[in-house]
């Protein structure tokens, strides 16, 4: 009887330990993935394209590698916002006369489309903005406006920029 109870206890304990070990590994993997997805990389407009005298700069490897990752960027809102306010444009300089022109690479926009969280409207401001969220890299045509963007951020936060 004692042997049966000890054997049953040992079997139960072994099953609990094995199940616990498997859960630990899964939890560690999930925790690592969560940490990696939570890392925020600060980017600037200078990171967008390679420099070129002929105007044929390409999207940088840095930007390509950040596709789908959390990024943060400081910039200024343009007054050119689609009528439905689904997104805003962020540009490197306040009051840019032509935010869609780059001296280095006129083929591409020196602007990034920012999609506010939960479809919120962002009132126009001349203050600098700090935006963070998930970066999307690659040409995409907005169905409502027909505008083409190479860079987009699905924002988690849009705040007035505070120098550190």
Residue 16's Cβ-count burial label (10 Å; 0-12, 13-18, 19+) is: exposed
3-state secondary structure of 66: coil
Within this chain, do residues 22 and 53 fall inside the same structural domain, yes or no? no
Q: Tell me: do 50 and 60 sit in the same domain.
A: yes
Question: Both 69 and 117 in a single domain?
Answer: yes
Please write the tens of the pLDDT for every residue from 105-129: 444 567 899 999 998 988 889 999 9
Structure tokens at 2: 């004692």
Place of tokens 């032509």: 98
Q: Are residues 30 and 45 in the same domain?
A: no
Q: What tokens appear for 8 in the block?
A: 């049953």
Could you tell me the two tokens for 100? 């869609």
Length of the chain: 164
Residue closest to 110 by CA, chosen among 43, 49, 41 = 49
The two three-digit tokens of residue 46, written as one number: 């200078």
- For 143, the domain range is 40-160
| Spans of the chain, pLDDT less than 70 | 1-38, 54-55, 82-84, 96-109
Which DSSP helix (H) or strand (E) runs through 129?
strand 128-141
Whether residue 71 contacts residue 153, with contact meaning beta carbons closer than 8 Å, is answered with yes
Query: Same domain for 48 and 107?
Result: yes
- Full-prediction pTM beyond 0.85? no
Domain identity same for 153 and 78: yes
């Amino acid at each position: 009887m004692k042997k049966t109870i000890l054997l049953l206890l040992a079997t139960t304990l072994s099953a609990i330990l094995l199940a616990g070990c498997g859960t630990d590994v899964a939890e560690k993997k999930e925790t690592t993935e969560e940490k990696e997805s939570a890392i925020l990389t600060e980017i600037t407009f200078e990171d967008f394209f390679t420099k070129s005298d002929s105007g044929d700069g390409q999207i940088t490897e840095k930007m390509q590698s950040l596709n789908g990752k959390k990024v943060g960027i400081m910039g200024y809102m343009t007054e050119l916002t689609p009528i439905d306010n689904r997104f805003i444009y962020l540009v490197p300089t306040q009051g840019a006369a032509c935010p869609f022109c780059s001296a280095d690479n006129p083929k591409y926009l020196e602007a990034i489309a920012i999609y506010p969280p939960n479809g919120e409207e962002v009132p126009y401001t001349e203050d600098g903005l700090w935006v963070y969220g998930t970066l999307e890299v690659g040409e995409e045509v907005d169905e409502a406006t027909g505008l083409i963007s190479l860079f987009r951020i699905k924002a988690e936060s849009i705040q007035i920029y505070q120098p550190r």
